[in-house]
Amino acid sequence: MPEKVVTHKALCYIVRDRRLLVFRHTDYSYEEVGIQVPGGSIRPGEIPEDAALREAREETGLTDFKVVRKLGESEYDISPLRFEVQQRHIFHLELTEPTPPRWSSQEDHDGTHQPTQFECFWVPLTAGHILQSGQGALLGRLYD
């Protein structure tokens, strides 16, 4: 078995009116990729808070975010998809701009890949258990 690589990720719990902002990849089925919260890799030299804000903007197409607080960290082994252990830095973000109930967005990847297509929408916080790959691990801390 290959040695597992540790990667650092930022995840965003964006909450409004007791609802959580989530998305799905429209180029893949729910069975393949599930429902996710905005997040992604922390770049070299980037602090986790900045990565969370960048990822939220890139994946939702929205801009008006602010970090409320860091909720903590969790570790998730995503094998066998990739032999990778993700060290996740999880943030509660606030969004101040209005949104429709559902909208489409895309992440352009700096022109290095085809754009990734997303459908963003809101779910009740109590439905956070539907998140893929343990992304909802720290949702309970929103109530602390």
Is the distance from CB of 138 to CB of 71 less than 8 angstroms?
A: yes
At 29 the pLDDT is: 85
Helix (H) or strand (E) holding 48: helix 48-60
pLDDT tens across 37-47, in order? 999 999 999 99
Residue boundaries of the structural domains of the chain: 5-143
Task: Examine the pLDDT at 140 and tell me if it is beyond 90.
Answer: yes
pLDDT band at residue 80 under the 50/70/90 scheme: confident
- Out of 3.20.20.60, 3.90.79.10, 3.30.420.10, 1.10.4080.10, select the CATH number for domain 5-143: 3.90.79.10
At 137 the pLDDT is: 96
Is pLDDT larger for residue 118 or for residue 111?
A: 118
What pTM does this model have?
Answer: 0.93
- Quote the percentage of the chain above a pLDDT of 70: 98
Is the distance from CB of 39 to CB of 120 less than 8 angstroms?
A: no
Residues contacting 61, CB < 8 A, separation 6+: 103, 105, 106, 120
At 118 the pLDDT is: 95
Is the distance from CB of 37 to CB of 12 less than 8 angstroms?
A: yes
